[in-house]
Amino acid sequence: MTSPGTESSTEPTPEAPEPHDLGLSHDLPTLLNRRHAIGLLSVGGLVAALAACAPTSGVNGDASTGAPTGGPSSGDRGDSQADVGSGEIPEETGGPFPADGTNGPNILTTTGVVRSDITTSFGDSSGTAEGIPLTFSLTVVDVSGEGDAGTPVAGAAVYAWHCDREGRYSMYDITDQNYLRGVQEADADGTVTFTSIFPACYPGRWPHIHFEVYPSLEDATSATNRMRTSQLALPQAVSEAVYATAGYEQSVANLQGVTLDSDMVFSDGFALQMAKTSGSVGQGYTATLRVPV
């Protein structure tokens, strides 16, 4: 297992470092004491099985694809070249706004990033993302063995991020905010749950949520340790209902201008990436996705 990254997002002063400057490594002893042994044992076999599936694609994509640009300011191309086994969730691009150290900032080394509610900024940032409430859960299962159901990967870590109601990404389009980003450790069922808001639809891209899967919290400090990068797609009917509400006006036309078949990520198939949703505009929505790796 590759050692996790140790760099922090800011350099603490020798005299009296602030807690938020110490990075995720500062939080790990407390976070892992309760389930450390279980988490590492449950993913040990999975790490070996997926060694060949580590992402190898670049951040900005393959210019030879001729794919249109996506996102508010840069390309978000489906440029993955990773080898994915049959029945596993597709490997996808992390896009130009991952904040995992592969393209600019690395939020993974910031104390406070391990959280379930990602609607607010944390650390040196403050602010709340406005929008229709969305709670989404990802269940990581190892399908390398026998059987179709797979084995829940307890102790795995998932980093999730997405754009805000206006289609902007924190730490890039909004440099003084880091909301709508967070890391969670999978429970005994392999599930992580995030409280967030429904993301916008921006030009060229279907409504989606990015995520990276790591063997453990200890590994979730450096993108080099990730074993799968993919995206969750949100259903059209639910998206249309959300975009009819105040604040999402730009998403109406953007959604009309893209289809799952034209989207540069989901056009080659989205059966394993389409979330199951329930709820309403008034009460908020819940989305779930099984993540076979």
Tell me the DSSP string of 158-220: EEEE---TTS--BTTTBTT---SEEEEE--TTSEEEEEEEPPP--TT--SEEEEEEESSTTTT
Average pLDDT along the chain: 79
Output the pLDDT for position 29: 36
Greater pLDDT, 156 or 2:
156
Per-residue buried b or exposed e for 145-167, using 16+ beta carbons within 10 Å of the residue's own CB: eeeeebbbbbbbbbbbbbbbbbb
Q: Are 38 and 154 in contact (CB under 8 A)?
A: yes
pLDDT digits (tens, 9 = 90+) for 22-78: 344 433 433 333 333 333 333 333 333 333 333 333 333 322 222 333 344 434 433
pLDDT of 180 over the 70 cut: yes
Tokens 């056009």 correspond to 267
Residue with tokens 């409504």: 207
Per DSSP, which regions of the chain are E strands? 133-142, 151-152, 157-161, 181-185, 191-197, 208-214, 228-233, 276-280, 284-292
With tokens 């109406």, the residue in question is: 252
pLDDT digits 0-9 by tens, 139-161:
999 998 766 688 999 999 999 99
| DSSP SS3 for 36 | helix
Percent over 70 (pLDDT), the chain: 70
Whether the predicted pLDDT of 20 surpasses 60: no
Beta-sheet strand order (sheet of 228-233): 181-185, 157-161, 208-214, 228-233
